[in-house]
Amino acid sequence: MAVRLGLVSLFKRSLSASSRVGSALGAGTQRFGTVAAVEEPISPPVEVNYTKLLINGQFVDSASGKTFPTLDPRTGEVIAHVAEGDEEDVNRAVFAARKAFDEGPWPRMTGYERSRVLNRFADLIEKHNDEIAALETWDNGKPYEQSAQVEIPMVTRLIRYYAGWADKIHGLIVPADGPHHVQVLHEPIGVAGQIIPWNFPLLMFAWKVGPALASGNTIVMKTAEQTPLSALFVAQLLHEAGLPDGVLNVISGFGPTAGAALASHVDVDKLAFTGSTQTGKIVLELATKSNLKSVTLELGGKSPMIILDDADIDQAVELAHFALFFNQGQCCCAGSRTFVHERVYDQFVEKAKARALKRVVGDPFKKGVEQGPQIDEEQFKKILKYIQSGKDNGATLVSGGDRIGDKGYYIQPTIFSNVKDEMEIAREEIFGPVQSILKFNDLDEVIQRANATRYGLAAGVFTSNLEKANTLMRALRAGTVWINCYDVFDAAIPFGGFKMSGHGREKGIDSLKNYLQVKAVVTPIKNPAWL
């Protein structure tokens, strides 16, 4: 509940942002529209203490001795040099995780003991909330207030949620048709390989680690090369909370080397991946070719946000703005196709423009900032290329359309109207602050167009008409449908995709199933008193 409130309050903050921005603005911050170079970056209130690989409970150098720089998205400058893991390090980490699973205390501990470790971990995250948030913002560029007040609290909520499950995972006794005692056991699956992206580094860490640990597995995690720092910090806290050595191993490094080695390792029993659809296909193939390990995939999206003609336009504009621009537009489930009913279309576009122009872009450590820089040069260039493609293909540029300043990876909140379904910006995942507004005039038409994508991660609907909401929620082919809200991510709510947005679900009870094997044990019973 607290987390849900966290998100709701973030959205409410966004609702009142237009009245607050004036007072929030100051050095290093700008209301988009008064474009100028972003000023000198604020010094992050944290030190980087953990840069090595975590293998078997120890922070160690990579076998090759190599390191790679992790960069500050505000400037492109080096924050720290981090040990670069590759195949040999993955082998060492899998060996440690295997041993910890086969011999170690973790799967043999009671569920209650495991829950106590996870609860202590959540307490420690809470204690270090501000340091962790600062690391997350420094490495990723997301607003500090978002890290500190929304995301880190979501992490603790999620860890406590799975701590609550740890001693409630149980099988069944099933009545078969015969004199048999039939037990269905739910066992930990073994060594889990986990590969995560950079857009929500710590939240993705938690979504993966929470259910895997609650159900008694051991882990080798490969973090994203853009954002290795926060996972190393909290992995250390998890050991302080009592996690035995070897149960969680963290490898910083690159996809084609460390990630591929993990996906294809024959001693890994399960692979959980979050990232692009393109990479999802690669890791699925590696997993299949190596040892057919089971795979869950959380991939990309091109989610529709549908505004009906009965909607309160001011609220609809704010929600659609939040659905797209949250986290610099770097959300797999971003509402990146804003469908607006033709009766309210022009009014909506005007107000969406006004809102985008008021968006506070600047140093993410600055109070009141809503949007920081994009993660890195590669994403920054990709987004600018998509903006150019929108212009070239005849969409109407309503606001933005360029970078901000000449340093770091800041992009103007950009809106295109008159976007057509076949345009690249309406089909491909931009993963940036670019809103595409499309016009529709009929419910059946918008259902058909909203579903006409290879993705199916999420959808949003904004209406006061219950019947239309009910029709849409069933017709939309997506893993999540948010009605009159967006981006509500409580730990109990399953999340995942239809179609090429992925396989399986994370969070909630569904995620536990990813980390459990089902074993049937059948024993004949002589002279049973009952069956």
Ligand X SMILES: NC(=O)c1ccc[n+]([C@@H]2O[C@H](COP(=O)([O-])OP(=O)(O)OC[C@H]3O[C@@H](n4cnc5c(N)ncnc54)[C@H](O)[C@@H]3O)[C@@H](O)[C@H]2O)c1
DSSP category for residue 403: B
Task: Give the CA count within 13 Å in the CB-facing half-sphere of 395.
Answer: 28
Closer to ligand X by Cβ: residue 220 or 260 = 260
Q: Which residues does 137 contact at the CB level (< 8 Å), separation at least 6? A: 44, 143, 144, 147, 364, 365, 372
Give 3-state DSSP helix, strand, coil % of the chain, rounded to 5: 40, 20, 35
Region of 28-36, 41-49, 93-101, 217-225 interacting with ligand X (CB under 6 A) = 217-225
Footprint of ligand X on 303-342 (CB under 6 A)? 332
In angstroms, the CA 81 to CA 277 distance is: 29
Closer to ligand X by Cβ: residue 158 or 311 = 158
Q: Is 19 exposed, middle or buried (0-12, 13-18, 19+ CB in 10 A)?
A: exposed
Assess 259 for contact with ligand X (CB under 6 A): yes
DSSP category for residue 244: P
Assess 136 for contact with ligand X (CB under 6 A): no
Closer to ligand X by Cβ: residue 224 or 360 = 224
Region of 177-185, 271-279, 316-324, 509-517 interacting with ligand X (CB under 6 A) = 271-279
Among 260, 340, 360, 434, binds ligand X (CB under 6 A): 260
Task: Give the CA count within 13 Å in the CB-facing half-sphere of 505.
Answer: 17
What's the min distance (Å) between Cβ of 167 and ligand X? Answer: 28
Footprint of ligand X on 227-256 (CB under 6 A)? 254-256
Assess 225 for contact with ligand X (CB under 6 A): yes
Assess 275 for contact with ligand X (CB under 6 A): yes
DSSP category for residue 328: G
Q: What angle do CA 49, 54, 57 make, to 5 degrees?
A: 105
Assess 195 for contact with ligand X (CB under 6 A): yes
Closer to ligand X by Cβ: residue 257 or 417 = 257
Q: Which residues does 175 contact at the CB level (< 8 Å), separation at least 6? A: 182, 531
For residue 224, the one-letter residue type is A
Phi and psi dihedrals of 161, rounded to 5?
A: -60, -50
Assess 274 for contact with ligand X (CB under 6 A): yes
Region of 42 please: left (phi>0), alpha (psi -120 to 50) or beta. Answer: beta
Region of 94 please: left (phi>0), alpha (psi -120 to 50) or beta. Answer: alpha
Closer to ligand X by Cβ: residue 55 or 195 = 195
Among 298, 363, 487, 490, binds ligand X (CB under 6 A): 298
Among 29, 115, 147, 199, binds ligand X (CB under 6 A): 199
Among 128, 208, 222, 265, binds ligand X (CB under 6 A): 222
Closer to ligand X by Cβ: residue 38 or 271 = 271
Closer to ligand X by Cβ: residue 41 or 201 = 201
What's the min distance (Å) between Cβ of 91 and ligand X? Answer: 15
Helix (H, G, I), strand (E, B) or coil at 201: helix
Among 198, 322, 410, 462, binds ligand X (CB under 6 A): 198
In angstroms, the CA 312 to CA 344 distance is: 10
In angstroms, the CA 297 to CA 280 distance is: 6
Region of 115-123, 297-305, 404-412, 461-469 interacting with ligand X (CB under 6 A) = 297-305
Asked whether the beta carbons of 3 and 203 are under 8 A apart, the reply is: no
- The total of other beta-carbon atoms located within 10 Å of residue 81's CB is 13
Assess 154 for contact with ligand X (CB under 6 A): no
Assess 458 for contact with ligand X (CB under 6 A): no
Asked whether the beta carbons of 514 and 492 are under 8 A apart, the reply is: no
Region of 193-201, 416-424, 432-440, 520-528 interacting with ligand X (CB under 6 A) = 193-201
Active site residues: 298, 332
What's the min distance (Å) between Cβ of 43 and ligand X? Answer: 27
Region of 53-61, 91-99, 269-277, 309-317 interacting with ligand X (CB under 6 A) = 269-277
Assess 290 for contact with ligand X (CB under 6 A): no
In angstroms, the CA 62 to CA 89 distance is: 6
Closer to ligand X by Cβ: residue 41 or 502 = 502
Assess 192 for contact with ligand X (CB under 6 A): no
Residue ranges in contact with ligand X by CB under 6 A: 195-199, 222, 224-225, 254-256, 259-260, 263, 274-276, 279, 282-283, 298-301, 332, 429, 431, 457, 502
